[in-house]
Amino acid sequence: MRRKKLLFYILLIVSVSKGAALTDSIKLSEFASPSMRWRPVPLWFWNNTEVKEDSLLVQLDSILTKDCYGGCAILPFGKSFGPAYLSKEYFRLYGKVIKAIKQRGAKMSLYDEYGFPSGSMGAINGSGETIFKNNHPGKTIRRLDKVEYATISDTLFRCELNVKGTIMSVVAMEMQTKKIVSLREKLVGNILTWNVPPKGEWKVMAFVCVEDGDPNVNYLSPEAVKLFVQDTHEAYYKNFPEAFGSVITTTFFDEPTMYRAQGRMWTDDFNDKFMFRFGFSPEVLYPALWYDIGPYTAVARNYLFGMRASLYAEGFMKTIDDWAEAHGIISTGHQDQEEVVNPVSVSGDLMLDGKYMGMPGIDKIGGNRPAEDFYKVVSSSANNWDKTYVMSETYGDMGNISIERMYNIAIEQYTKGINQLIPHAVWYNNADVWFLPELSYRNSRYNSLLADFNRFLSRLNYMLARTGRHVADVAMIYPINTLQAGHYFDGPEGFYKGGVNIPDVDYNMVSRMLTDNLGIDFTYIHPEVMDDRCSVDHQRLVMKNKINTESFSVIILPSCRVITLSNMKKIEKAWENGVKVIFTTQLPQQVADGDGTDDDITAIVNRMLVSERNKGYAVFVKNPNDEALRNALMTVNFDVRFSDAEHPFNYIHKVISGSNLYYIGNIDDIVIENKIILRGKLTECTLLDPRTGKIEPAAVSYDNGNSVITLNLAPGQSVFLVENTIFGEVSQMYNTMPFAFNVRCLR
């Protein structure tokens, strides 16, 4: 009873404090010197050594004072780490950190693993022991295998299926006509008996779900993930219930992925859950996981891979998020390999993963992995499902990059919707750093520069990590249906790289062209959200949410060869009502589900581009590049426009408490001057420099009902432009706050 009461009070306090943090008015004085709660919280590796109380408290003090961090996320790491993971001594030391953090008004994130990825309790990058697997036999990752048998026409086929595991499907497929018949009724025990037809090239296939041997939890099973949560998260809560919601404010998972099990991750109750969701058995669809099964291939793969993506998102992400919400904290984390263009056997559906996270996240890591092309996928997931926070774990394994490069990366992230950057990392044992940089004062490359950098991040958090709505004119369909239709198991790229390099996929390139080359922000729209939350109103496509309602005048379909009929009909309706539609690379040709036919899709496209093209604006950009997209978008009255077409700034526009806020940055390597035209007439505005914390009135002029300002930004410079109504009595502040920069040179 006492524990239930304590949890109730924690939830009550957290709900109040969350509301306060999100709705506090912006104050210029606090922008200049943000309080502890706005500071970044780094990963703190307790790595490959015996952690001692005196040393860790000295390090923690330096983390908070010398480095100006706002807390920590403790990450036990390496075979030589001690004390033993989740032991009495481990929790004693963890409690010392909680006490010190609380005294400083800082915060912690509960990192849920020993090493990484999340799910094994130390088997990988930890002790090497398979603790979770030992605790819960049969609850680790499962794999789908295929066994094939040749047949002879017009004979009796009799075979014992020598398989260990759950038989998910037994079918025969005629390899020329692609006809598939279920043989489930011909199976008695493991003995299959079937009269092979006299004509055709028939192949018998058995699909079996087996234990893979990977020590991680079965990510597709909520029941298994609850056991992982019980062994990890609950252990922390049992020891420190009073810290949840006050000191411990988030929980962090790290690098789960479906590329494990050779990219064929599956679960034994897949068929049962499929039948419950769709009302029919998936057994005759299983060959589509490997083969082209004819005209129904796209539909079959969308059913199967779409269902698997849902099981993954609901099994792992949602289970953790439900626990976090019940304990007054926010769930966050990121997938492994988010930068793989085809996510189907990696993250499943990267946008859908974020639906079931309190704070969707991504990882910007070294190794020439272009996570920046996917920031908008994760931030759009937050926009689609009305989330306030978007996280990026950043700088891991990037080497001792320059501090200017660190600023540049942060500016790009925050202009693309990130508002919580988690630095990777501080290392307890800095003599054994596995993944540079070591981001503490002890690293001579950063030393005193790090505190200023963290103040910069704090100011970005202060302005952007709060309730508000995103403003963009362009909606881009997230092409998950096309990706699922083009994917199959055991592809030539290998499971680590996603298996299949699907031809003509361009969404990541179109994203980069829009934001980096044309200076146009956008929001990805998930097919589910297009159906459930989008409507057409007054020549706009409107995505309705409680907070983040967005309104679009343009819809881009990036190489969407496969699409649901319901999505296509809504796009058609938007086109009829004046919304501009742009197709790139390849036109929609196939339906993604059983609702409608391919002909229904092509008929709508033909109507928009050919037979009734004069009824609206639609264009096909077969070879998208900067010039082609710029021409296709020529007539759009964008919310933000830049005079230098070759060198626009990156930006994000949000409306917070009814006032306009723009964050504008230069991530190019040259000085750029732009006259910026902002749609509509802004009230009096202020410029705020996040690098120095200083301010000055903005010299905004007005032309044809729009607001105009000229900015000259050096590489790695950025500025906030905000309406003064966001502050209250701003004029009084100018008398006490020193000016930081000239409007033409923000430094």
Q: Is residue 622 part of a domain?
A: yes
Residue 318 in domain:
yes
Whether residues 318 and 348 share a domain: the answer is yes
pLDDT for residue 145: 98
For residues 308 and 329, membership in a common domain is answered with yes
What are the tokens at 516?
A: 């980096």
**Domain limit, last residue, from 608, 632, 656:** 632
Does residue 241 form part of some domain?
yes
The CA distance from 713 to 680, in Å, is: 24
User: Looking at the domain assignment, is residue 369 inside a domain?
Assistant: yes
Q: How many CB atoms lie within 10 A of CB 322?
A: 16
State the CATH number of the domain containing residue 328: 3.20.20.80
Residue 544 belongs to a domain with what CATH number?
3.40.50
CA–CA gap between residue 25 and residue 247 (Å, rounded): 23
Classify residue 19: in a domain, yes or no. no
- For the chain, helix (H) and strand (E) counts, in that order, are 21, 37
Do 388 and 532 lie in one domain? The reply is no
Q: Is residue 576 in some structural domain?
A: yes
Whether residues 425 and 348 share a domain: the answer is yes
| Sign for the pseudo-dihedral over CA of 14, 17, 21, 25 | positive
Check residue 23 and give its pLDDT. Answer: 59
Residues in a beta bridge with 394:
364, 423
| Number of domains within the chain | 3
Question: Does 463 fall in a domain?
Answer: yes
For 590-645, write each residue's pLDDT tens digit: 999 989 999 999 999 999 999 999 999 999 999 999 999 999 999 999 999 999 98
Q: Checking DSSP bridges between strand 618-621 and strand 580-584, what pairing results, if any?
A: parallel
Rg value, the chain, Cα: 27
Q: Give the CATH number of the domain where residue 713 resides.
A: 2.60.40.1180
Question: How far out from the chain centre does Cα 371 lie?
Answer: 10
Q: Are residues 509 and 646 in the same domain?
A: no
The structure tokens listed for 252 are 């962090």
Model pTM? Answer: 0.94
Please report the pLDDT score of residue 24 as a whole number. 77
Which H or E element spans position 541?
strand 540-543
**One domain for residues 434 and 502:** no
pLDDT of residue 740: 40
Same domain for 104 and 232, yes or no, is yes
pLDDT, position 475:
99
Q: Are 48 and 76 in contact (CB under 8 A)?
A: no
Contact 556, 381 (CB under 8 A): no
Q: DSSP E strands: which ranges in 215-320?
A: 248-254, 265-266
**Residues, the chain:** 747
Final residue before a domain boundary, out of 439, 467, 495: 467
Q: Which helix (H) or strand (E) holds 69?
A: none
Residues 456 and 485 in one domain: no
Q: Do 409 and 482 lie in a common domain?
A: no
Tokens at 693, concatenated: 């914390």
Q: Which domain holds residue 677?
A: 640-734
* DSSP string for 572-601: HHHHHTT-EEEEESS---EESSSSS-HHHH
Same domain, yes or no: 439 and 393 = yes
648 and 622 housed in the same domain = no
**Sign of the four-CA dihedral 448, 453, 459, 465:** negative
pLDDT in tens, 348-388: 999 999 999 999 999 999 988 899 999 999 999 999 999 99
Query: For residue 643, how many other CB atoms are within 10 A of its CB?
Result: 13
Query: Same domain for 365 and 377?
Result: yes
C-alpha–C-alpha distance, residues 513 and 521, integer Å: 10
What is the token pair recorded at 686?
């202020």
**What is the per-residue pLDDT for 730?**
52
Does residue 691 belong to any structural domain of this protein? yes
Which DSSP symbol is given to 79?
A: T
Name every residue whose Cβ is closer than 8 Å to that of residue 628 and which is 6 or more positions away in sequence.
621
Instruction: Look at residue 387 in the predicted model and tell me its pLDDT.
Output: 98
Q: Output the pLDDT for position 450.
A: 98
- In the chain, which stretches have pLDDT less than 70? 1-23, 728-747
Q: Which of 601, 632, 663 is the last residue of a domain?
A: 632
